[in-house]
Amino acid sequence: GAVVSQHPSWVICKSGTSVKIECRSLDFQATTMFWYRQFPKQSLMLMATSNEGSKATYEQGVEKDKFLINHASLTLSTLTVTSAHPEDSSFYICSASTDRYEQYFGPGTRLTVT
């Protein structure tokens, strides 16, 4: 149980284009979903927290107009990186939670912006 999927697992896009990443909880309903970013050999940094039907809460320093988060249902959240640039290349990981403290992570999406 508690399986979270992400799609795509790897995406390459050109600078200036937008990319959408999906996060789904497959066997449970997630009250909250989280989006993290991880640079090579570094830890996960929380970007934003989203509750179904509400606007996402972004961490300090994260541009909400650049990283658009939509939490359309209790099983689906999407992260759209708008006008991507090479510095946005990173590993993006989502997690889903049914309560406050246990988060179940997706397998991650590797974004490469050329």
Q: Which residues bind other proteins (CB under 8 A)?
A: 4, 6, 32, 34, 41-46, 49, 91, 93, 95, 97, 100-108, 110
Contact 36, 93 (CB under 8 A): yes
The least distance separating other proteins from the CB of residue 77, rounded to whole angstroms, comes to: 14
CA–CA distance, 37 with 16 (Å, rounded to integer): 20
Tell me whether residue 64 or residue 82 sits nearer to other proteins (CB atom): 64
Tell me whether residue 6 or residue 78 sits nearer to other proteins (CB atom): 6
CA–CA distance, 114 with 84 (Å, rounded to integer): 9
List all residues 6 or more positions away from 89 whose beta carbon is below 8 Å from its beta carbon: 111, 112, 113
The least distance separating other proteins from the CB of residue 69, rounded to whole angstroms, comes to: 14
Tell me whether residue 69 or residue 93 sits nearer to other proteins (CB atom): 93
Q: What are the beta bridge partners of residue 23? A: 6, 77
Tell me whether residue 31 or residue 70 sits nearer to other proteins (CB atom): 31
The least distance separating other proteins from the CB of residue 92, rounded to whole angstroms, comes to: 10
The least distance separating other proteins from the CB of residue 114, rounded to whole angstroms, comes to: 19
Contact 21, 84 (CB under 8 A): no
CB hemisphere CA count around 95 (13 angstroms): 18
